[in-house]
């Protein structure tokens, strides 16, 4: 009886181990999207949702021009009786200027600097052009102070999908990536969503800097 139980246990353990290895193998399979295949880009192993690049892609010593960052917002429907509207959750012109600066700093420090590459202000002298976008983007709360809101608490500063495409001087895509980001998400003990913290423009920009540095550090690792 004991021998039978041990045999059954070993068989069950072997089956579980095989299943785990099989699922891990499936998870590691890299599948190119139709768009990547059309452009000759190969998927890369990554901590981001998706990264693809040209074969033997090398950005060493390159000059890169960063186009104005595009932002597409998640549609918001105002609550009945709320003084806030969808526009209150969008970045204003001055915020877009700062976003461009923060994005450029993160790209330079975490993605280009390790390759001895740099951003340039003149598109004409660039070897590559980098287009970055935030889609399905939404702020956790309005950035501008509201007279009728003394304090606002959120479980994250913002969320959205960060994506990018790098093209050579002839306009051919050489790299593409995308990743869903929860920016400034606070994990804690107060419920499944984590803990709430006070939201201000200061915390938002701090969280954006931290998250973008992480994203481009992951992109850097994906292409090594």
Q: Name the burial class of residue 132, with classes exposed (0-12), middle (13-18) and buried (19+) by CB atoms within 10 angstroms of its CB.
A: buried
The pLDDT value given to residue 19: 45
The pLDDT value given to residue 2: 43
Nearby residues of 104 by Cβ (< 8 Å), 6 or more positions away: 66, 119
The pLDDT value given to residue 91: 94
Query: Residue 134's beta-bridge partner residues?
Result: 71, 162
The pLDDT value given to residue 16: 46
The pLDDT value given to residue 83: 64
Does a structural domain hold residue 135? yes
Does a structural domain hold residue 130? yes
Does a structural domain hold residue 29? no
Total count of domains within the chain = 1
The pLDDT value given to residue 28: 46
Range of the domain at 171: 40-144+158-183+202-222
In DSSP notation, 151-181 reads --EES-SEEEEEEEEEEETTS-EEEEEEEEE
* Residue spans of the chain under pLDDT 70: 1-29, 77-83, 145-150, 186-195
Indicate which CATH number applies to the domain containing 107: 3.40.50
Please give the model's pTM, rounded to 2 decimal places. Answer: 0.79
Instruction: Tell me if 31 sits within 8 A of 44, measured CB to CB.
Output: no
Instruction: Tell me if 83 sits within 8 A of 190, measured CB to CB.
Output: no
Does a structural domain hold residue 49? yes
The pLDDT value given to residue 31: 81
């Amino acid at each position: 009886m004991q021998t039978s139980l041990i045999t059954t246990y070993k068989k069950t353990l072997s089956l579980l181990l095989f299943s785990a290895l099989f699922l891990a193998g499936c998870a590691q399979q890299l599948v190119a999207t139709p768009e990547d295949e059309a452009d000759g880009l190969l998927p890369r192993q990554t901590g981001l949702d998706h990264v693809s690049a040209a074969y033997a892609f090398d950005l060493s010593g390159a000059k890169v021009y960063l186009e104005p960052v595009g932002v597409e917002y998640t549609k918001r429907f105002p609550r009945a009786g709320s003084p806030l509207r969808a526009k209150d959750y969008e970045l204003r012109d001055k915020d877009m200027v700062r976003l461009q600066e923060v994005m450029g700093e993160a790209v330079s420090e975490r993605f280009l600097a390790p390759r001895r590459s740099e951003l340039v202000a003149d598109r004409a002298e660039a070897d590559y052009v980098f287009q970055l976008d935030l889609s399905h983007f939404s702020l956790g709360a309005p950035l501008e102070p509201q007279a009728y809101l003394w304090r606002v608490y959120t479980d994250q500063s913002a969320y959205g999908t960060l994506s990018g495409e790098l093209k050579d001087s002839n306009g051919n895509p050489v790299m593409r990536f995308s990743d869903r980001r929860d920016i400034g998400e606070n994990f804690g003990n107060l419920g499944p969503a984590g803990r709430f913290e006070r939201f201000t423009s200061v915390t938002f920009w701090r969280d954006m800097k931290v998250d973008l540095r992480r994203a481009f550090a992951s992109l850097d690792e994906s292409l090594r």
